[in-house]
């Protein structure tokens, strides 16, 4: 027998104690490296499939206590593969797709630094200044 509407709750659902809402600017910069780096990362191809579009910023290393690691440990990844990563776990995902995500994060960070170097020293100093102001 199928119900036409769900049963009413007698008690409200307990809220999770996790932080909700937007992160502070300083926390966003620590996790994602600022708006400019985030925009750059989302324009990169997926580190697994090489495809562009529907890219998410994926942290491949934790910082303990359920805290996200710094932006140096992020890679661009297709959204569907990101879901597979969370389902399988990092080690199983790396084995299945034959990829070392920590090495991919290091390569991504080097590509970002090369991008900044091509933009010139004044560009780098403006990024550093913006990030330092928010700390």
10 in a structural domain: no
The pLDDT value recorded for residue 133 is 61
The pLDDT value recorded for residue 2 is 66
Spans in the chain with pLDDT lower than 70: 1-3, 6-7, 9-21, 63-66, 123-124, 126-135
124 in a structural domain: yes
Domain count for the chain, please give it.
1
20 in a structural domain: no
4 in a structural domain: no
16 in a structural domain: no
102 in a structural domain: yes
Question: What's the predicted TM-score (pTM) here?
Answer: 0.71
15 in a structural domain: no
Domain that holds residue 84: 25-134
- Own/partner pairs, 103-108, CB within 8 angstroms, 24+ separation: 104/47, 104/60, 104/75, 105/60, 105/61, 105/72, 105/73, 105/74, 105/75, 106/72, 108/41, 108/44, 108/47, 108/74, 108/75, 108/76
């Amino acid at each position: 027998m199928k119900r036409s509407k769900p049963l009413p709750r007698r008690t409200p659902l307990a809220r999770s104690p996790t932080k909700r809402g937007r992160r502070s600017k300083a926390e966003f910069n620590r996790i994602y490296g600022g708006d400019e780096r985030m925009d750059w990362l989302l324009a990169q191809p997926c580190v697994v499939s090489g495809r562009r579009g529907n890219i998410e910023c994926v942290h491949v290393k934790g910082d303990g206590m359920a805290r996200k690691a710094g932006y140096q440990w992020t890679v661009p990844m297709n959204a569907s593969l990101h879901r597979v990563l969370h389902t399988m776990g990092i080690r199983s995902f790396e084995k299945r797709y034959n990829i070392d995500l920590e090495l991919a994060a290091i390569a991504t960070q080097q590509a970002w630094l090369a991008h900044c170097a091509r933009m010139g020293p004044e560009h780098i100093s403006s990024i550093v200044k913006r990030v330092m102001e928010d700390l």
